[in-house]
Amino acid sequence: GENVEQHPSTLSVQEGDSAVIKCTYSDSASNYFPWYKQELGKRPQLIIDIRSNVGEKKDQRIAVTLNKTAKHFSLHITETQPEDSAVYFCAANDYKLSFGAGTTVTVRA
């Protein structure tokens, strides 16, 4: 089955700087890669997703890039703000959606 590894596990950035989270996956048949944001005690919420036929997707301050050859994808958050502080999860699908272990992002004011 799919194995998704996510790095780093924690990330602290200064407000206004960029944050990058990277994930690798094992199943070359995976074709859908979402990213979820989970605030403390809340439900995970989908923030952006990408399919395997696209190399990059952007939505305001967040973007995701996919390298199918290397089997890795990344989340980029630019101009970070305090409300970006949360746990971020990547995921990849084979017959199920497999999640990474999460990255705790802290934006310092």
CB of 79 to other proteins, least distance (A): 26
Please say which residue, 18 or 51, places its beta carbon nearer to other proteins: 51
Q: What length does the chain have?
A: 109
CA dist., res. 73 & res. 90, Å (int): 9
- Tally Cβ neighbours within 10 Å of residue 60: 9
Please say which residue, 38 or 65, places its beta carbon nearer to other proteins: 38
Contact 20, 103 (CB under 8 A): no
CB of 15 to other proteins, least distance (A): 24
CB of 53 to other proteins, least distance (A): 14
